[in-house]
Chains A and B, each alone.
Chain A
Amino acid sequence: QLHLQESGPGLVKSSETLSLTCTVSGGSISSSNYYWGWIRQPPGKGLEWIGSIYYSGTTYYSPPLKSRVTISIDTPKNQFSLKLSSVTAADTAVYYCARHAGSYWKESFDYWGQGTLVTVSS
């Protein structure tokens, strides 16, 4: 059974860079069959896609966040990572990593991590 687990600091200072890692187990991240993505959810609010990456390193980012986001992949470690720069309080959210159901970034997200709350403090 595929399992995704987010890890990283739960508290980040305003203007600094948020860094999270998603560790995948029960399947290979270097499979050509899937994209991998990040989605976030501010407390009490809806879902927002951040971006997605393919095993080859091809990335797609949400346009409003594109200037601040970098997603990378580490196939030997079976991990992919998120960096979000110049954070503000508006970036406080539960961050989820997830797998797309296919080799296209427009496929649904079929497996999700449990999520990790990141709070931006001033």
Chain B
Amino acid sequence: QSVLTQPLSASGTPGQRVIISCSGSRSNIKSNYVYWYQQLPGTAPKLLIYNNDQRPSGVPDRFSGSKSGTSASLAISGLRSEDDAIYYCAVCDDNLSDWVFGGGTKLTVL
């Protein structure tokens, strides 16, 4: 069981907007920055969002992150076939002194 809770799956059609949630607690999401990673099949994770809502250079503005209290969200607008991937949220947990990752959400673009 992951410390961070994500839905197992999400789906949408091209052009739609999808939101993936990540639920945590006071010792992790509320207290620290949240990060989001995209993992395509057979590849290493790629940093998508850092510091809750910042995009690294090269990440399209279709991807956006937000945080409120003990939860965080990743929104993907204008869904494209290449967004078909697994998305992980990640944060440091102050109580555990550990990095914790969500279990991952498999996004299917129909």
Q: Could you tell me which A residues sit within 8 Å of B by CB distance?
A: 46-49, 60, 62-64, 96, 101, 106, 108-110, 112-115
Contacts and interface: CB of A to CB of B under 8 A. Distances in A.
A49 B99 contact: yes
B109 interface: no
Nearest to B91: A106
Nearest to B2: A46
B44 A113 contact: yes
Contact of B99 (A62, A101, A110, A113): A62
B71 interface: no
Interface residues of B, number: 24
A101 B103 CA distance: 22
B46 A62 contact: no
Contacts of B96: 63
B45 A48 contact: no
B104 interface: yes
B63 to A, nearest CB: 14
Contacts of B43: 114
Given A63-B98, A106-B32, A108-B35, 12 more contacts: A46-B101, A47-B37, A47-B45, A47-B101, A62-B98, A96-B44, A106-B33, A108-B50, A109-B35, A109-B45, A109-B47, A112-B46
Nearest to A114: B44
Nearest to A51: B99
Nearest to B88: A47
A4 to B, nearest CB: 9
B34 to A, nearest CB: 9
Contacts of A110: 47, 50, 56
Contact of B92 (A106, A112, A113, A114): A106
B88 A46 contact: yes
